[in-house]
Structure 1
């Protein structure tokens, strides 16, 4: 490797920073310059996880880990065998930052403050000799021979031998990739909540159920199914089960303009027959009680009353008077409730898109372009997205690390 190798990194987010640090540390003779369009780098890291920064997820088996990526899992399988959450934890630990694991597997700094991660990355970049230029907005990139000419808004042109594009899900970043010969999968939103126009349901805003099985039904498509907690909101439904469905169904939902059917099994731990048995037992043993006020299943009281009302039962109706037909309706409501999705809501500030650089055009051993030698990719510019829980950061750390190590070679 020549002593004056010039490495340019465009994008001061998680992937870009990690790539720049990895390159500068592994190849001290390379001159690494990071260009960030904004006034400060790492803004998404700073606001993520409600300001706590969900760094990664405590899943240490690459084969299991890839199952949390609706797009890109297959390509990441080998990448995770080289740098995975265990390596992320060790990387930060070596630099004085300890991560802790929460009950759901998400990992945060013990300080519960994203500034800890921002400071750690900034310090690591500085001590590795990375040159960080802020307010350095790139307007065009040209390939001239083996050089990359990066033109800034200021009029300056910076030359490099290697170029890492880590611009996130940014339209201009996609344009740069296109100008260098790459195809882009059209970006569409992923990770969002469902709007459901049911006034009675919306009155239950704040009611949460720990475990449901939810299915997304779109005409002429195979049902998509996810499990997890569900939260009823004043616009419809949210919670992990819904966010996962939105991620796996991102493309089909976009194509049907977010008009689809959601089917919810509120009691996934019981079979259809078991639910029927529980209701029959209530009819026999609690016959004098009103159905609306006595629930034989473990659901929030308001949700139970809403489901009973949905079956057109009045508040005074007693268990003893429950007809076979009404009992079947109630079993259906508990195990196969259907709701019309009428659009999508936002999900806090952690907006994720699917889409980006077509993965077949990138070598995932090195993150180098298969079409343009010397060009590398990291993070969300790629057609990779994970569900909520630290997975999107982990793919940024992994792809950044691989790109950083490879860029200084040869």
Structure 2
């Protein structure tokens, strides 16, 4: 085994986020609300020694939203059910900091961490779509900069609540009648710009100390937040050069804050298109491209711009000038689309089709080709691993049964689990308990 290890996650999206996955004859039409589907695929990923399964989420939909998001289970409820049917694989769920409260989130993810015996992870997002505001009693969405400022404080509060009890706070001595050492319970008494939370949280830490913090955000504010709080990031890197740039930039920002850059794992999302041969994979890719509905592609393109209506423009004219269109949505993604269209002189049609690329450049081909590309990104410091989008059963099987063994034979990926927690899988340390550490420092003085 090489010293640096590849990490793999499985993104479980039921019927999928594209135009073709839900139509596959082996994909159940109700997969996104079928707990048995999630349990089955989580167990398959665990059998293949994946680090984690990953559940995406969003608090706003329209009639044109992609199939999976139209009708799907809430992540924490779903993962709690999956926890009871798995024993080693990490369980990562998405939850927004814009429309929840820190105390609730600390309790929910802390509970999942106990239920799973130390396998929980929280994907921190700030919510891109403005329509979400009206689902939570607000007329306007938080401004982009405010969302990220709020998110950082939110995470700090949650992590403070997770340290409400020192690890030896509960002697549970039945003979003496001592259940709690009261001096080892700690109020938070946080009063910040966005939150005031007294605490303590009525829950101890888990085997891994605290759930692992994941984060997804590609704008400047998003990268700064990741540098501050993330232990792993869900990156959106459309090609190798972009992946290298993001990887180097995020880790440099973390190092500038005094953090260990290697303690942030960069895991781009990946939808590989795998077939027995490269020729067969590219044939499937061409057939899918020919059958795509351009109107649906335009809707998907518009999502990054808060569902801006791109149908009003000439498809084969240069990508439109969007000066004045709000970027208070998925700002990083929108900026990347505009930048790529400008640099490559894309038409609107080409930009929409580009966004539907099933695997990103290079991830279409035979198992050997896919393994080679994964290794190139890993050794070239464009990624520490990948979150694989689980599509049709035969495609996921090809990845597990054909690609993973190649990576294992090269010493890049584990053949057996060495740990029982998500932190252990990712090579992350158990966070020091802030109050116990402070007591030790005082005693040393």
TM exceeds 0.5?
no
Q: TM-score, normalised by structure 1?
A: 0.25
Higher share in strand: 1
Q: Which one scores higher on RCO, CA 8 angstroms, separation ≥ 6?
A: 1
Larger radius of gyration: 1
Higher share in helix: 2
